[in-house]
Amino acid sequence: MLRRDRKLAIAIPVSIVSDIPHLREKTLKIGLIGRAVAIFRVTEIIVFPDNLSTNQKWDRNLIVTLLSYMETPQYLRKRLFKIKPELRYVGIIPPLRTPHHPIEKRAKKLKIGEYREGVIVSVTESGSLVDIGVERPFLIPDNKLPVNKRVTIKIRKLGKHPRVTLANLEEIEAYWGYTVTASKVSFGQLTKSHAYDLVVATSKLGTPLTQVADELAERWKKSRSVLVAFGAPTQGLHEIVAQENLRLDEVTDFTVNTIPDQGTETVRTEEALYASLAILNTIVR
């Protein structure tokens, strides 16, 4: 489960759950997206507005909240998330089982050099006490941090007086989850920010991936930051950027069809995620 050697972000539209009336089914769909992201070691999820004439705030907050909840280790969720309507059905979302979601709950089973996620629970004269999901908090010496701040730590000492230090995420070789960003700008503006070396759009109207696989793989290898974008249930990325009077090929480097000759009228976003990330994962290895 090694982390990628480059940043891989995906962009998904707010309306991915707009065609589902019940919160339970919305929650399950978002859960499947979270699993796909973790399976293929995505580092960032960007949720962008795709219907510029309507208020999409509730669905946007739902998607961001549930994906953030999924990414948080189970032992930290009660500290970091208050009870709210959006979390009513979180019991049905699948666990990520990523390296930063350990199942070990006993301090005696920890190992020196191990990394864990934690939350600051109190501050003393000696430093900050951090909950890392075992029987007692560990001390981060000489470092006074805000209570309820989430941190990544490295275990330095065990025994009667265990000690940990703050970790640099760049030093962790394992895949360590994803971040979630609620974009305030449209997809066209997002791609024009120049934050990504390579932008790939997925569309049934795109070029079959097999025709550009070698060129795409070469560009991927030269990029440090890649964005892969997906459309919505009722409109693809072509229609989404047309609201800004743009053409998709103006704002992306590749527009590819990863599911040629599909047998259904539409492919759901979560289905496109699994299919597209799987084949991209294969051709760029």
Span 91-105, pLDDT tens digits: 999 999 999 999 888
Burial class (CB within 10 angstroms; exposed 0-12, middle 13-18, buried 19+) of 26: buried
As beta bridge partners, residue 226 has 8, 198
Residue 55: per-residue pLDDT: 84
Residue 42 CA to residue 274 CA, distance in Å, equals 12
Q: Name the pTM for this structure.
A: 0.94
Whether residue 184 is found in the same domain as residue 88 = yes
Domain assignment present for residue 52? The answer is yes
* Residue-level pLDDT at 65: 97
For residues 261 and 209, membership in a common domain is answered with: yes
> What pLDDT, on a 0 to 100 scale, did the predictor assign at position 159?
82
- Tokens 């964005």 identify what position? 227
Domain hosting residue 158, numbered range: 107-169
The encoded tokens of residue 176 equal 């360590």
User: What's CA 261's distance to the chain center, in Å?
Assistant: 29
Q: What is the pLDDT of residue 48?
A: 96
Indicate if 116 and 61 belong to the same structural domain: no
Same domain flag for 92 and 200: yes
102 within some domain: no
Tokens of 162: 């265990």
Among 3, 11, 2, CA closest to 226: 11
pLDDT of residue 143: 84
What residues are paired with 163 via a beta bridge?
139, 157
Tell me, yes or no, whether 208 and 256 share the same domain: yes
What is the domain count for the chain? Answer: 2
Identify the segments of the chain with pLDDT beneath 50: none
Residues 88 and 34 in one domain: yes
Based on the fold, state whether residues 203 and 257 are members of the same structural domain. yes
Question: What per-residue confidence (pLDDT) applies to 19?
Answer: 84
- Asked if the structure places residue 2 within a domain, the reply is no
